[in-house]
Amino acid sequence: STGKGPPQSPAFEGVYNNSRMLHFLTAVVGSPCDVKVKSGSTFEGIFKTLSSKFELAVDAVHKKVPDQPVGPRREDIVDTMVFKPSDVMLVHFRNVDFNYATKDKFTDSAIAMNSKVNGEHKEKVLQRWEGGDSNSDDYDLESDMSNGWDPNEMFKFNEENYGVKTTYDSSLSSYTVPLEKDNTEAFRQREARAAQLAREIESSPQYRLRIAMENDDGRTEEE
Protein backbone atom coordinates (compact mmCIF):
# COMPACT_ATOMS: atom_id res chain seq x y z
CA SER A 1 0.00 0.00 0.00
CA THR A 2 1.21 3.50 -0.84
CA GLY A 3 -1.31 5.33 1.29
CA LYS A 4 -0.16 8.46 2.99
CA GLY A 5 0.49 8.32 6.70
CA PRO A 6 -0.39 10.98 9.24
CA PRO A 7 1.01 14.45 8.51
CA GLN A 8 4.45 15.01 9.94
CA SER A 9 4.96 17.81 12.45
CA PRO A 10 7.38 20.48 11.23
CA ALA A 11 10.89 20.16 12.64
CA PHE A 12 12.03 23.26 14.50
CA GLU A 13 15.65 24.16 15.04
CA GLY A 14 17.51 25.94 17.80
CA VAL A 15 15.56 28.50 19.80
CA TYR A 16 12.48 27.79 17.67
CA ASN A 17 12.06 24.62 19.77
CA ASN A 18 11.49 26.75 22.87
CA SER A 19 7.82 27.62 22.52
CA ARG A 20 7.73 29.97 25.51
CA MET A 21 10.76 31.92 24.34
CA LEU A 22 9.41 32.07 20.79
CA HIS A 23 6.02 33.29 22.02
CA PHE A 24 7.67 36.05 24.06
CA LEU A 25 9.90 37.27 21.24
CA THR A 26 7.05 37.14 18.74
CA ALA A 27 4.93 39.27 21.07
CA VAL A 28 7.54 42.05 21.18
CA VAL A 29 8.16 42.30 17.43
CA GLY A 30 7.92 45.97 16.51
CA SER A 31 8.76 47.17 20.02
CA PRO A 32 11.60 49.62 20.76
CA CYS A 33 14.54 47.88 22.38
CA ASP A 34 18.01 48.46 23.75
CA VAL A 35 20.74 45.92 22.99
CA LYS A 36 23.84 46.03 25.18
CA VAL A 37 26.89 44.25 23.75
CA LYS A 38 30.11 42.97 25.33
CA SER A 39 32.07 46.06 24.37
CA GLY A 40 29.83 48.04 26.72
CA SER A 41 28.02 49.92 23.97
CA THR A 42 24.22 50.03 23.83
CA PHE A 43 22.28 50.17 20.57
CA GLU A 44 18.70 51.35 20.28
CA GLY A 45 16.25 50.33 17.58
CA ILE A 46 13.06 48.49 16.68
CA PHE A 47 13.05 44.72 17.19
CA LYS A 48 12.35 43.01 13.88
CA THR A 49 12.92 39.25 14.17
CA LEU A 50 15.29 36.52 15.31
CA SER A 51 16.90 33.46 13.74
CA SER A 52 16.88 29.90 15.04
CA LYS A 53 20.41 30.60 16.32
CA PHE A 54 19.06 33.47 18.43
CA GLU A 55 20.52 36.15 16.20
CA LEU A 56 18.52 39.35 16.76
CA ALA A 57 17.62 41.61 13.84
CA VAL A 58 16.92 45.22 14.81
CA ASP A 59 15.77 48.01 12.48
CA ALA A 60 16.50 51.76 12.60
CA VAL A 61 19.51 51.19 14.85
CA HIS A 62 21.76 53.82 16.36
CA LYS A 63 24.38 53.76 19.09
CA LYS A 64 23.20 55.41 22.28
CA VAL A 65 25.39 58.20 23.58
CA PRO A 66 25.18 58.94 27.33
CA ASP A 67 23.72 62.35 28.22
CA GLN A 68 22.96 63.13 24.59
CA PRO A 69 20.47 66.05 24.69
CA VAL A 70 19.00 65.40 21.24
CA GLY A 71 18.14 62.35 19.17
CA PRO A 72 20.50 60.67 16.71
CA ARG A 73 21.45 62.23 13.43
CA ARG A 74 19.99 60.66 10.32
CA GLU A 75 23.42 59.57 9.08
CA ASP A 76 24.00 57.71 12.37
CA ILE A 77 20.96 55.47 11.90
CA VAL A 78 21.52 52.05 10.32
CA ASP A 79 18.61 50.40 8.53
CA THR A 80 19.16 46.92 10.01
CA MET A 81 21.73 45.33 12.31
CA VAL A 82 22.05 41.66 13.29
CA PHE A 83 23.40 40.90 16.76
CA LYS A 84 24.95 37.49 17.41
CA PRO A 85 24.09 35.87 20.77
CA SER A 86 27.79 35.64 21.65
CA ASP A 87 28.01 39.45 21.53
CA VAL A 88 24.81 40.28 23.41
CA MET A 89 24.83 40.89 27.16
CA LEU A 90 21.36 42.36 27.68
CA VAL A 91 18.23 43.10 25.66
CA HIS A 92 15.66 45.48 27.09
CA PHE A 93 12.24 45.85 25.44
CA ARG A 94 10.33 49.03 26.28
CA ASN A 95 6.63 49.88 26.40
CA VAL A 96 5.53 46.24 26.54
CA ASP A 97 2.47 45.20 28.57
CA PHE A 98 2.27 41.42 28.82
CA ASN A 99 -0.81 41.56 31.06
CA TYR A 100 -2.94 43.55 28.60
CA ALA A 101 -5.15 40.63 27.55
CA THR A 102 -5.69 39.43 31.13
CA LYS A 103 -6.62 42.77 32.67
CA ASP A 104 -10.21 43.40 33.72
CA LYS A 105 -10.83 46.07 31.10
CA PHE A 106 -13.28 44.42 28.70
CA THR A 107 -16.28 43.95 31.03
CA ASP A 108 -19.13 46.45 31.21
CA SER A 109 -18.17 47.55 34.71
CA ALA A 110 -14.52 48.09 33.74
CA ILE A 111 -15.50 50.07 30.64
CA ALA A 112 -17.81 52.26 32.73
CA MET A 113 -15.14 52.92 35.37
CA ASN A 114 -12.34 53.64 32.87
CA SER A 115 -14.20 56.18 30.76
CA LYS A 116 -12.52 59.55 30.31
CA VAL A 117 -14.37 62.85 29.95
CA ASN A 118 -12.23 65.90 29.15
CA GLY A 119 -9.19 64.04 30.46
CA GLU A 120 -10.85 63.14 33.76
CA HIS A 121 -11.88 59.65 34.77
CA LYS A 122 -15.63 59.56 35.32
CA GLU A 123 -17.99 56.67 35.71
CA LYS A 124 -20.02 56.12 32.56
CA VAL A 125 -23.62 54.97 32.77
CA LEU A 126 -24.12 52.15 30.27
CA GLN A 127 -27.49 51.66 28.61
CA ARG A 128 -28.90 48.27 27.76
CA TRP A 129 -29.27 47.70 24.03
CA GLU A 130 -32.69 46.49 22.99
CA GLY A 131 -32.47 44.70 19.67
CA GLY A 132 -36.18 44.18 19.25
CA ASP A 133 -37.59 41.52 16.96
CA SER A 134 -34.79 39.75 15.08
CA ASN A 135 -37.21 39.04 12.22
CA SER A 136 -38.15 42.68 11.78
CA ASP A 137 -37.76 44.40 8.42
CA ASP A 138 -37.45 47.87 9.96
CA TYR A 139 -33.72 48.34 9.33
CA ASP A 140 -33.25 51.11 6.80
CA LEU A 141 -31.59 54.49 6.47
CA GLU A 142 -34.75 56.27 7.57
CA SER A 143 -35.15 54.17 10.73
CA ASP A 144 -35.69 56.14 13.95
CA MET A 145 -33.79 53.39 15.83
CA SER A 146 -30.47 54.77 14.61
CA ASN A 147 -28.32 56.33 17.33
CA GLY A 148 -26.01 58.08 14.88
CA TRP A 149 -26.41 60.84 12.33
CA ASP A 150 -29.43 60.95 10.11
CA PRO A 151 -28.14 60.09 6.61
CA ASN A 152 -29.80 63.14 5.10
CA GLU A 153 -28.03 65.34 7.66
CA MET A 154 -24.72 63.71 6.72
CA PHE A 155 -25.33 64.36 3.02
CA LYS A 156 -26.29 67.97 3.78
CA PHE A 157 -23.23 68.49 6.00
CA ASN A 158 -20.82 67.14 3.35
CA GLU A 159 -22.39 69.29 0.65
CA GLU A 160 -22.31 72.50 2.72
CA ASN A 161 -18.82 72.03 4.16
CA TYR A 162 -16.96 70.14 1.43
CA GLY A 163 -18.98 70.71 -1.70
CA VAL A 164 -19.59 66.97 -2.06
CA LYS A 165 -23.05 66.22 -3.36
CA THR A 166 -24.38 62.73 -2.88
CA THR A 167 -25.70 60.61 -5.71
CA TYR A 168 -27.39 58.19 -3.32
CA ASP A 169 -30.91 57.21 -4.31
CA SER A 170 -32.86 55.29 -1.69
CA SER A 171 -34.91 53.63 -4.42
CA LEU A 172 -31.73 52.14 -5.95
CA SER A 173 -33.23 52.83 -9.35
CA SER A 174 -29.79 52.65 -10.98
CA TYR A 175 -29.39 49.03 -9.89
CA THR A 176 -32.88 47.54 -9.95
CA VAL A 177 -36.05 47.70 -11.99
CA PRO A 178 -38.81 49.39 -9.96
CA LEU A 179 -41.64 47.04 -9.06
CA GLU A 180 -44.99 48.22 -10.31
CA LYS A 181 -47.32 48.01 -7.35
CA ASP A 182 -51.02 47.42 -7.68
CA ASN A 183 -53.43 48.82 -5.16
CA THR A 184 -55.26 45.54 -4.96
CA GLU A 185 -55.83 43.04 -2.17
CA ALA A 186 -54.26 40.23 -4.20
CA PHE A 187 -51.04 42.21 -4.73
CA ARG A 188 -50.80 43.14 -1.05
CA GLN A 189 -51.22 39.48 -0.09
CA ARG A 190 -48.46 38.40 -2.49
CA GLU A 191 -46.17 41.16 -1.18
CA ALA A 192 -46.76 40.13 2.44
CA ARG A 193 -46.20 36.48 1.55
CA ALA A 194 -42.90 37.31 -0.19
CA ALA A 195 -41.68 39.26 2.85
CA GLN A 196 -42.63 36.37 5.13
CA LEU A 197 -40.78 33.85 2.96
CA ALA A 198 -37.68 36.08 2.93
CA ARG A 199 -37.69 36.24 6.74
CA GLU A 200 -38.13 32.48 7.02
CA ILE A 201 -35.26 31.82 4.61
CA GLU A 202 -32.89 34.27 6.30
CA SER A 203 -33.64 32.87 9.76
CA SER A 204 -33.20 29.22 8.75
CA PRO A 205 -30.10 27.33 10.00
CA GLN A 206 -29.19 26.26 6.45
CA TYR A 207 -29.16 29.85 5.22
CA ARG A 208 -27.08 31.05 8.16
CA LEU A 209 -24.62 28.18 7.65
CA ARG A 210 -24.15 29.10 3.99
CA ILE A 211 -23.61 32.75 4.88
CA ALA A 212 -21.09 31.79 7.56
CA MET A 213 -19.22 29.57 5.08
CA GLU A 214 -19.15 32.34 2.48
CA ASN A 215 -17.69 34.73 5.04
CA ASP A 216 -15.09 32.20 6.21
CA ASP A 217 -12.35 32.01 3.57
CA GLY A 218 -10.86 28.60 2.95
CA ARG A 219 -13.82 26.55 4.14
CA THR A 220 -15.98 24.38 1.95
CA GLU A 221 -19.31 22.61 2.38
CA GLU A 222 -17.47 19.32 2.92
CA GLU A 223 -15.80 20.85 5.99
88: exposed, middle or buried (Cβ count in 10 Å: 0-12, 13-18, 19+): middle
The CA distance from 96 to 21, in Å, is: 15
**Is residue 194 in a domain?**
yes
Q: Write down the pLDDT at residue 91.
A: 92
H helical segments located in the chain: 19-27, 108-113, 151-162, 185-202, 205-215
Boundaries of domain holding 52: 14-93
pLDDT tens string for the chain (223 positions)? Answer: 455 656 666 666 778 888 888 888 888 899 999 999 999 999 999 999 988 888 999 999 999 988 877 788 888 999 999 999 999 999 999 888 766 656 655 566 666 655 555 555 556 666 777 766 655 555 555 555 455 677 888 888 888 888 888 888 777 777 777 677 778 888 888 888 988 998 888 888 888 888 888 776 555 544 4
* Number of domain units in the chain: 2
Domain ends where: 58, 77, 93? 93
Q: What is the CATH number of the domain that holds 84?
A: 2.30.30.100
**Is residue 192 in a domain?**
yes
Q: Which DSSP symbol is given to 140?
A: S
**Is residue 138 in a domain?**
no
Q: Write down the pLDDT at residue 152.
A: 84
**Is residue 140 in a domain?**
no
Domain ends where: 28, 62, 93? 93
**Is residue 207 in a domain?**
yes
Instruction: Provide the whole-model pTM.
Output: 0.42
DSSP string, 27-64: HTTT-EEEEEETTS-EEEEEEEEE-TT--EEEEEEEE-
Domain ends where: 74, 93, 112? 93
**Is residue 47 in a domain?**
yes
Q: Write down the pLDDT at residue 3.
A: 54
**Is residue 134 in a domain?**
no
Distances (CA, A) of 163 to 151, 157, 179: 16, 9, 34
**Is residue 9 in a domain?**
no
Q: Write down the pLDDT at residue 1.
A: 46
On whether the CB atoms of residues 93 and 53 are closer than 8 A, the answer is: no
